[in-house]
Amino acid sequence: MRSDAAKVFYYHADASSLGGFIEKSFQEIVPSQASASLPSVGGYTTARSEAFNFKEIVSCRSTYTRVFGERSKQMAHGPRW
């Protein structure tokens, strides 16, 4: 690759406050709560969910997720964490 070529990073940011898979004593997917995804150009987004109860095993009053990504001068070396 040429050293003067512009490098581009496309974001792949997804998050959720709660979710998963129960394996024992039964198998079932726990639905994701407060899921958020960034567009490929980056940015900022939030998600919130209220009063979740999954089969009396997992419960919460509310969940909140925040996702943020920005372009930086360090992008030549990859994403900024």
Within a domain: residue 26? yes
Containing structural domain, residue 27 = 14-70
**Structure-model confidence comparison of residues 6 and 47, the more confident one:** 47
- Whether the pTM exceeds 0.75: the reply is no
Q: Residue 40's pLDDT is what?
A: 79
Q: How many domains does the chain have?
A: 1
Q: Residue 77's pLDDT is what?
A: 56
Within a domain: residue 22? yes
Within a domain: residue 49? yes
Q: How far apart are CA 21 and CA 72, in angstroms?
A: 36
pLDDT tens column, 31-78? 999 999 988 788 899 999 999 999 999 999 999 999 888 766 655 555
Q: Residue 80's pLDDT is what?
A: 52
Q: Residue 42's pLDDT is what?
A: 82
In sequence order, what DSSP letters do the residues of 6-74 get, joined into one string? PP------EE-SEEEEE-SSS-EEEEEES-EE--TT-EEEEEEEEEEEETTTEEEEEEEEEEEE---GG
Within a domain: residue 44? yes
